[in-house]
Amino acid sequence: MYKAKVIAGVEIGTSKVSVLLGEIVEGGSLNIIGLGQSSSKGVLKGDIVDFHEANDCAHAAILSAENQAGVKIDGVYLAVSGSDIEGFTSEASVNVTSRDRRVSQEDIDQVSSLAKGRDLPEGRAVIHHLKRPYRLDNRSVDQPLNLGGDRLEASYWTVHGNARKIGDAIHIINGFNLHVDDVVLSALAVGSVVASEEEKSSGCLVLDIGRGSTDYAVYQGGRCLIAGCVPLGGDHISNDLSIGLRMRLKQAESLKHRFGSAVIEHRNKSEKVWLNNDFEIGDRPIPLWSIEKIVELRMGEIFEVVQKKLGAFGRPERLSGGVVLCGGGAGLRNIEDCAESVFNVPARLGDNGTMATGELKESQYSVALGLLKYGLQYQNAVMVGSGRSDGFMGKLKGLFQ
Amino acid sequence: MATKKASKSVRKSRSWKDIDQDVKAKSMSSAAFKRMLLARMRTCAIGVGVFVALALVIKFFVMTDDFSATLTKAGRALPIRVVEVESDTLSREWVMEHLDLYRGDLNLLEIDVGALRASLLKIPQTREAHIARQLPDTLFISIEEREPIARVAAEDVERGRITLLVDRDGIVYEGIGYNRKRIQSLPFLDGIRLKRIEGGFETIEGMNSVDHLLAEASEIAPHIYQTWKVVSLAELPKLIVKSAFAKEIVFAPTGGDYRRQLSELDYIIDYHKGHSYRSVAKIDLTMKSQVPVTRSTVVR
């Protein structure tokens, strides 16, 4: 008899900590049984800058989720993001060893190990190896086993981060007497939920615009080829509004939410809006055009930075599935138009409709939902692959990615 | 071989999984510390519960072992010192010998009273037997014996001519411990065929009538009964009695009418003795109004 396992998807973001509890029933289905949220403190641009504050916020959210569900968590899937997340392509090639020139499992294992074995700078830790299609004599193949050829090449997108920063996030979870079962890049978690299989297959970019950072993931052929994070988010816009229009950050934040638009809608420069709209001393009119101009520029800037990071993967011909936007920053009006103008492909707002209903459909829960989905597949893999090697697990994770 | 060489040369980059997940209590929030404390207390409680349960189970087994040992000791501490036997003719000594109760190692709680009773019931002379333990040291044996009403002469291959006893139910048995005089006072049965069966003889039919007749005779006319030597069942349901006075006295199977027949017999005997007849050949009491008497010898 299979015991139900309670897993938690935890996202310690810049603006909030989200915890979703899922119960994996009979190893095959996931029931979402609890939600805990708290405002985040001690996190800046996705990085933990005050351990104790971040610790308290995360623990409050976890406790709230546990109390709501009335169960204890068995394992945690933790989302990581932040400015330190980087990635590189690691490649390796081997000559096919068998006499009949057919690729054996040993060849695949060897080339995969060589590709993954690239040294990282001191203090860095691997988070994911995102597998790309193999190349056998310069032709792209998904599964080269038993195919004929002379030279087999493997390529991975290796996502790595600062080991200390990842350790800090893990220790926050450990501090609640919980064990982190896996660490997942936020972009991957989001992508698994908001992008459809068709979009992933034809090629799409998933952007999770948070308060402090923007996570990105490019899918093609149903798998993630590149993922990462840029340290620019909603705060980037609010900061510029604050500086450019000379107001406090909180006021800028409010103004952004009330009047912000990712493309200029109001060309009339004399059209103004009140800063606080409370008719008290200090309240003043602000040109609406100015707000929209700043927001458009900064939003466009974020997209351009991402596009630059993507390099060849960001070209319109590789993103025929379009851009899927989610996260708190995607709440800006006309953000799809802004994204379309930068990436030259259609853009849409993503939600969690394929996996959740009601409140959980909102994209602010995409990361936590994606983590649960990841956890479900991981648990299934553990059940199916129990007694097998880690290689099998890796393959299953690769499928998910 | 190529694979092995290659795998040796493969380097493994550092993964997030290498990060130590042990955590010290001081880095916990108060909620987490409370949670950890509760979890540990629960673990301790479960541990203590399991320990207590195990201890109780062990204690139970030890106690059971002790208890049975105590019972054994108690059993050994109750040797049989007195055997009380309540019976009619079977002597205490015979019973003790038969039941093998002279052994010195007998104790009251270990002895199998069921087996002793079965052993007693195997003797045909025993109608019923009761055996009871009377603490602290007495075994009480009560035997209800069969009452012989007649005897049968039989031939035994080894012992020659033997006398067997018959009770009112027709049970044939060898009498044990009977007074010789008592046995000799019983009339012989005639006109029967003894058949051996396992553990004794086949039951004799018609003994109810014999019992009735003999009981009535010994009660109302003991002087007549004393002269009866043989009761023949050859012409059942008629009973033919051979006595010192008459060679054949034929009684009719009339149930409770033996008193009348005995009264008539008494009168006939008195009459004939009064007329100096010492014996007659046959007296037929089977007819109600008439009693034919066949005289054999007339002495004047």
Residue-wise pLDDT for A328-342, tens only, equals: 888 888 999 999 999
Distance CA A355, CA A352 (A): 6
- Mean confidence (pLDDT) of chain A: 85
Quickly state the pLDDT bin for A1 (edges 50, 70, 90).
Answer: very low
If one compares A2 and A319, the residue with the highest pLDDT of the two is: A319
User: Alpha helices of A175-287 — where are they, by DSSP H?
Assistant: 186-194, 197-202, 234-244, 249-259
- For residue B27, the chain A residues in CB contact (below 8 A) are 51, 55, 171, 175
Which of these ranges, A63-72, A311-320, B246-255, has the smallest mean pLDDT? B246-255
Q: Judge whether A317 and A202 are in contact, CB under 8 Å.
A: no
Cα separation, A221 vs A157, in Å, equals 15
- β-pairing, A347-349 with A323-326? parallel
Place of tokens 């996190």: A43
Cα–Cα distance measured from residue B71 to residue B109, given in angstroms and rounded to the nearest whole number: 9
- Name the region of A311 (left: φ>0; alpha: ψ -120 to 50; beta: rest): left
**Poorest-pLDDT segment among B120-134, B259-273, B284-298:** B284-298
* Residue B11 with chain A: CB contacts under 8 Å: 117-119
Distance of CA A398 to the CA centre of its chain: 16
Burial B109-136 (b: 16+ CB within 10 A, else e): eebebeebbebbeebbbbeebebeeeee
Q: Which residues of B touch A125 (CB under 8 A)?
A: 14-16, 18-19
Confidence of residue B53 (pLDDT cuts 50, 70, 90): very high
Grouping H, G, I as helix, E, B as strand and the rest as coil, residue B14 is: coil
The pLDDT tens digits of the residues spanning A203-257 come to 999 999 988 889 999 999 888 989 988 888 888 889 988 888 888 888 888 888 8
Instruction: Retrieve residue A252's tokens.
Output: 């800028």
β pairing state of A204-209 and A214-220 = antiparallel
* Chain A residue with minimum CA distance to B18: A125
Share of chain A above pLDDT 70, in %: 93
Would you call B21 and A180 a contact, using CB atoms and an 8 Å cutoff? yes
> In Å, how far is A116's CA from the nearest CA of chain B?
7
Neighbours of B298 (CB within 10 A): 11
Chain B CB contacts of A163 below 8 Å = 14, 16, 19
Q: Which residue has the tokens 């009693």?
A: B291
Task: In whole angstroms, give the CA distance from residue B55 to residue B62.
Answer: 10
Check residue A251 and give its pLDDT: 86
Q: Do A175 and B14 touch (CB under 8 A)?
A: no
- What is the C-alpha to C-alpha distance for residues A64 and A10, in angstroms, rounded to an integer? 12
β-strands A124-131, A151-162: how paired? Answer: antiparallel
Contact B23 A171 (CB under 8 A): yes
The CA-based angle A269-A271-A273, given to 5 degrees, is: 125
Interchain CB distance below 8 Å, B19 and A118: no
Proportion of chain A above pLDDT 90, given as a percent: 30
Residue B52: exposure state from Cβ atoms within 10 A (0-12, 13-18, ≥19):
exposed
DSSP conformation class of A67? H
How far apart CA A9 and CA A369 sit, in angstroms, is 7
Outline where A70-131 has alpha helix (H).
Answer: 105-116
Number of H helices, E strands in chain A: 11, 19
pLDDT digits (tens, 9 = 90+) for B230-288: 888 887 788 888 888 888 888 887 655 788 888 888 888 888 777 777 777 788 888 77
Scan for tokens 């299934």, then name that residue: A380
Nearest-by-Cβ selection for B29 from A59, A116, A161? A59
Tell if the CB–CB gap between B14 and A125 is shorter than 8 Å: yes
Angle at B8 between CA B4 and CA B9, to 5 degrees: 120
B293 by DSSP, 3-state: which?
A: strand
Q: Where are the alpha helices (DSSP H) in chain B?
A: 2-9, 30-76, 92-98, 113-121, 180-184, 207-220, 222-225, 258-274
Domains in chain A, please, with CATH? 5-83+163-194+353-400 (3.30.420.40), 86-160 (3.30.1490.110), 234-348 (3.30.420.40)
CB contact under 8 A, B27 and A55: yes
Q: Compute the radius of gyration of chain B from its Cα atoms.
A: 43
> pTM of the prediction?
0.59
Q: What domains does chain B contain, in order, with CATH numbers?
A: 82-145 (3.10.20.310), 148-295 (3.40.50)
Nearest CA in chain B to A55: B29
Instruction: Identify whether the C-beta of residue A189 lies closer than 8 Å to the C-beta of residue A374.
Output: yes
Q: Helix H segments across A85-125?
A: 105-116
Q: How far apart are CA B116 and CA A64, in angstroms?
A: 78
pLDDT for the residue B254: 65
Q: Are strands B239-243 and B246-251 parallel, antiparallel or unpaired?
A: antiparallel
- What is the structure's pLDDT at B49? 94
Select the residue of B2, B3, B23 nearest A175 (Cβ to Cβ).
B23
